[in-house]
Amino acid sequence: MCGFLNRAVIWTTVFSLGISGMSAAESPTESARLILKPDQVRQEIDGFGASGAWWSQIIGDWPDAKRERIVDLLYGPDGAALSIYRYNVGAGSKQDIKDPWRGAETFEVAAGQYDWSRDRAAVRILNEVCARGDVQVILFANSPPKRMTKSGFAYARPESGTSNLAEDKYEQFADYLLDVTEHFLDEGIPVAALSPINEPQWDWGGDDQEGCHYEPEEVARLVEILLGKLKHRNLGIRLEAPENGSWERVEEPDGDDWYKSPVYLRTLFSNPKIDSGLKGYAFHSYWAELEHKKAFADYFFAKYPEKKLHMTEWCEMVSGRDYGMDSAINMATVIVDDLVEGGVSSWQCWIAVSRYNYRDGLIYVDQADQKIHAIKRLWAMANFSRFVRPGFCRFEVANDSTDLKVVGCLEPGTGKVVLVAVNGSANTVDSQIDLPGAGPPEEFRVFETSEQRDLGRRTDAKWSGRCAFAPRSVTTLVMELAP
């Protein structure tokens, strides 16, 4: 539970850091001031994560050293230390999807009958991720199993219409998902949530990947069934839905923007059973300007103040590989905007590992020689995920800089305060930082991701008045204040 820092006396501490790896002559310097306000607490953070679709079913069969290296980079304490792992519950499309990395197996053999030896490689990755530490597992489905669809495939066909879950298979699909969930729980997998739907507004025609369209009323029907069955089975997990493909507009848009209207949101929470059982709203952070995020968050929390927003998928949606700071800065900026302006409680990347010529994964791999590339996006994600742990709370930060994006978080009940600053400019930002606290931190550490560093700890931190954030960097300040 988020609450105020326990402080009898509030002082103001001003500190200074040196400029990492560069002199003032090498880049222009801008001045700024940040005022941290840990007594103004906002949302609780559930964690940061990424998806195992669909790389895990391939890399799960790679040699031990390579496979374990990837898992360590993503979930190990010296890597990103991600706290959420999304496991894809497949629909049996392995022979139908043209990209062998995107087809998925299903555990189902027949109604109520399962072969748990299937999806062996992906399950191996799942187990290895869970062995790295305290990880929340979210099971998610892109489509019902093929036998439950109108088209007979894990995607729509023109002759079958848009919505692909057969009218008489809603109960069976819910049972299938809960049977899989119960199996994993029995195996000791720490399943925290189940997400049955992915981007329901899209048509999902074609054989590029699994997908299923749902009209808002169909989403509500499936969610209501699942909530009832979850309560009956008493599995102790939450349901996440509907993984809408975008931040939705709160005004009624025109023309092609129809899908951004919050019709899915309104349809779900106008159902009293869903409103009482669904504790949050899950969506993807695509296709929205910052003002739309702000507007939707204001609308959502005004109407549903006790519920959470879960941001469950994002990638940059830009062709071409980027190993450097361009896409790292873009991703980190979206994270800060979604946390600060959108009020999200969790933030999750799309695929964690990519073989594609695309700005998507946190790690690139080369399929031919199994080479692994730990890119800047990974370390920029780690600036958040390694230090802002589940249960931390965001607090307000007054920021007069036009170059810095910042988010502040604290660990309730302790003196730990974390500040993550994104400097997307070509300037060094020399900032005064005012931090309420009872004297100087007992411990103070600074970690930077930039062209020069991969979440490198800065040894030049000094308490002499100001803080310099390097050009095109993501920097994390960790402060342990005296109780």
The rounded distance, in Å, linking the Cα atoms of 221 and 226 is 9
Bridge partners, residue 437, by sequence: 11
Same domain, 234 and 263: yes
Residue where one domain finishes, among candidates 343, 373, 390:
390
The rounded distance, in Å, linking the Cα atoms of 408 and 477 is 9
The rounded distance, in Å, linking the Cα atoms of 471 and 460 is 16
Same domain, 271 and 376: yes
Residue where one domain finishes, among candidates 390, 409, 442:
390
**Considering only CA atoms, which of 297, 290, 281 is closest in space to residue 243?**
281
**CB hemisphere CA count around 180 (13 angstroms):** 32
The rounded distance, in Å, linking the Cα atoms of 296 and 285 is 12
Residue by residue, pLDDT tens for the chain (483 residues) are: 674 343 322 333 334 444 333 444 456 788 999 999 999 999 999 999 999 999 999 999 999 999 999 999 999 999 999 999 999 999 999 999 999 999 999 999 999 999 999 999 999 999 999 999 899 999 999 999 999 999 999 999 988 888 999 999 999 999 999 999 999 999 999 999 999 999 999 999 989 999 999 999 999 999 999 999 999 999 999 999 999 999 988 876 665 564 557 899 999 999 999 999 999 999 999 988 999 999 999 999 999 999 999 999 999 999 999 999 999 999 999 999 999 999 999 999 999 999 999 999 999 999 999 999 999 999 999 999 999 999 999 999 999 999 999 999 999 999 899 999 999 999 999 998 887 665 677 788 899 999 999 999 998 766 444 678 999 999 999 988 776
The rounded distance, in Å, linking the Cα atoms of 58 and 119 is 10
Same domain, 27 and 127: no
Same domain, 378 and 407: no
Decide if 77 is inside a domain: yes
CATH number at residue 127: 3.20.20.80
Decide if 117 is inside a domain: yes
The rounded distance, in Å, linking the Cα atoms of 87 and 101 is 15
Residue where one domain finishes, among candidates 343, 362, 390:
390
CATH number at residue 436: 2.60.40.1180
Same domain, 256 and 403: no
* pTM summary value: 0.94
Same domain, 80 and 171: yes
Decide if 4 is inside a domain: no
> How would you class 186 by CB atoms within 10 Å of its CB: exposed for 0-12, middle for 13-18, buried for 19 or more?
exposed
For 36, the domain range is 11-44+394-480
